[in-house]
Amino acid sequence: MAGNKESCVDCGPGESRKSAASRVFDTAKDLFYRRGIRAVGVDEIVCEAGVTKPSLYRAFKSKDDLVTACLTQNAAEGREGILAAIAAAGDDPRKRLSAVIDHHADKIRCPDYRGCPISNVAVEMPEPGNPGREVLEQCKTDFRAIMVDLSRDLDVAYPEALADGLLLVIEGAIATHHIFGSQGPALSLVETCESLIDSHMERAR
C-alpha cells in the first residue's frame, strides 16, 4: 500500500503522521467549511482523511458531535484571530477598533475565503435545540461584546449603536462575499466602517 507513517502526500517527509482522530477533525473542518455540513457525508470525510469509518466513530460519537467540535474550534480560532489583531494594534482606541475591521477585510481578501464558518452554519442550522447552535450564538455574542468594549473606549455617545452598526457592515461584507466574491460590495467594508466611526465621533463633539 502506498504511504507510510514517515512520509505521505498529506504530511510530507520527516513529519510524523498525525492521529486518525486529528486527521478526521482537520478534514471535516475543511470540508464543512468549503461545502457545508449537510453536503458532506461521513464517507467523504473518512475517504479524504485517509482513515476508516470506525476510526471516526471511535473519536466522535456521532456526526453531530464532530460538527460541534469543528464549530467550537472555528469559534476559538476566530476569536483568537480577532484578539491578536487588537493586541497588535497598540493602545489607541480608534486603531484597535480599526484593527478588527482590517482583520476581517484581510480575511475576505483571501482567495479561499468562503464566508464566516459560524455564520454559514447558522443558516444551515435553524433548529433551536441543536447543541451546535449554542456554540454559534456564544461565538457571535462574544464578538458583539468585543465590539462594544472597543467602542466604549472611543469618545462616542452611543457605543452600543456604533458597535452594532460596525457589526452589521462586517457581517454584510461576509455575506455578500458568497454572491459577489471579494471584488464586490465587500470592497467598501473598511471605508464604510471608518465613515460610521467618524460620524459617531463627530456627533459626540
Partner DNA sequence: GTTATGTTACCGAACGGTACGTGTCTTGCT
Partner DNA sequence: AGCAAGACACGTACCGTTCGGTAACATAAC
Binding site for a copy of itself (CB under 8 A): 34-36, 38-39, 114-115, 119-120, 122-124, 126, 136-137, 140-141, 144, 161, 164-165, 167-176, 178-180, 184-189, 191-192, 195-196, 198-200
Q: Which listed option, a copy of itself, DNA, none, makes contact with residue 53 (CB within 5 to 8 Å by class)?
A: DNA
| CB closer to a copy of itself out of 41 and 90 | 41
Interatomic CA distance for residues 139 and 129, integer angstroms? 17
| CB closer to DNA out of 44 and 171 | 44
Residue 36 CB contacts under 8 Å (≥ 6 apart), including other chains:
120, 124
Q: Closest distance between DNA and the C-beta of residue 72, in Å? A: 17
Q: Closest distance between DNA and the C-beta of residue 44, in Å? A: 6
Q: Which listed option, a copy of itself, DNA, none, makes contact with residue 21 (CB within 5 to 8 Å by class)?
A: DNA
φ, ψ (nearest 5 deg) of residue 116 = -75, 125
Q: CA angle at residue 150 from 180 to 101, to 5 degrees?
A: 20
Q: Which listed option, a copy of itself, DNA, none, makes contact with residue 188 (CB within 5 to 8 Å by class)?
A: a copy of itself
Interatomic CA distance for residues 150 and 174, integer angstroms? 21
| CB closer to a copy of itself out of 51 and 82 | 82
Closest CA relative to residue 42, chosen from 25, 14, 171, 165: 25
Q: Closest distance between a copy of itself and the C-beta of residue 197, in Å? A: 10
Using CB under 7 A, list all residues that contact DNA. 1, 19-21, 40-44, 50-55, 57-59, 61-64
Q: Based on the number of CB atoms within 10 Å of its own CB, is 123 exposed (0-12), middle (13-18) or buried (19 or more)?
A: exposed
Q: Based on the number of CB atoms within 10 Å of its own CB, is 116 exposed (0-12), middle (13-18) or buried (19 or more)?
A: buried
Q: Closest distance between DNA and the C-beta of residue 121, in Å? A: 14
- Name residue, grid cell 462575499: 177
Closest CA relative to residue 30, chosen from 89, 114, 107: 114
Q: Which listed option, DNA, a copy of itself, none, makes contact with residue 57 (CB within 5 to 8 Å by class)?
A: DNA
